[in-house]
Amino acid sequence: MTASARPARPLSPLVAFLLGWGIGVGVFLLLRGVGLALLSGPCEGRTTLALLAPLLLGPGGLAFTASNWARPRRAALGLGLVVASFLPALAVGARDIGVLRATGCAGGYVVVTPASGGKSVSELNVRAGQTLNFTARVGGYTPQTHPGEFRLSTRSPAPGLALTLQGARARAGESVPLRLTVAPNTPPNTYTVGVQATQESGGQAYTAEGTLTVNVLR
């Protein structure tokens, strides 16, 4: 007598979930490996690579789960893909983006804070004829990755608003006094003024900008 073949046991939802998570991790590692092999520069395309796997696995896994909700094992497989989009894909992508910001690949910014200290300011109310003191600091870059000085300049759309920097150059992270003067005859309105910082190194220009919305009151 020959023994009859035993029927294969279907996958349990837990095993299907783990299988989906493993497939998601494999897709993440494949995309990351191919992307790192194709990208030669330290900045270009790195943000897209960091977000590609989470954007594919997350919505794709949710769509697969929703379309197979009546089938528990397939739905569990899709949930495994969704979890893989968060861990490790999104966790590693967030870390990569943090590294890009630290090295200046994600661009820079200028932080404007009151001269007396406190949180950064993006909008304020000021009366015509008033003068306020601030500090401007170049952020998004570090002295280690961008050791040179940045050239500072200001931008004001109205003659009645004047931004004055007490220093035309500053290093990354260094604060420079900044003064906002509103002429007495400035019409009440909302204005946007700005501070720019530029550094040229190795034939490439690095920029940072900060804006301040000024509501002039009577």
Rounded CA gap, 102 and 54, in Å? 22
Write down the pLDDT at residue 103: 63
Is the per-residue pLDDT at 78 higher than 90?
A: yes
Q: What is the dihedral angle through the alpha carbons of 105, 107, 113, 119, rounded to the nearest 10 degrees?
A: -60
Write down the pLDDT at residue 125: 95
Is the per-residue pLDDT at 59 higher than 90?
A: yes
Give the tens place of pLDDT for each residue, 99-145.
Answer: 776 666 666 889 999 998 888 899 999 999 999 999 999 988 888 87
Rounded CA gap, 191 and 157, in Å? 7
Residue 53's pLDDT band, with cuts at 50, 70 and 90, is very high
Residue 7's pLDDT band, with cuts at 50, 70 and 90, is low
Residue 1's pLDDT band, with cuts at 50, 70 and 90, is very low
Residue 17's pLDDT band, with cuts at 50, 70 and 90, is very high
With residue 92 as reference, give the H or E element that holds it: helix 91-102
Mean per-residue pLDDT over the chain, rounded = 88
Give the tens place of pLDDT for each residue, 155-167.
Answer: 988 888 999 998 8
Query: Which range has the worst mean pLDDT, 27-31, 70-74, 142-146?
Result: 142-146
Q: What is the mean pLDDT of residues 179-197?
A: 93
> Do residues 65 and 78 make contact, with C-beta atoms less than 8 angstroms apart?
yes
Write down the pLDDT at residue 9: 66
Write down the pLDDT at residue 40: 77
Global pTM reads 0.58
Rounded CA gap, 87 and 54, in Å? 9
Rounded CA gap, 171 and 139, in Å? 10
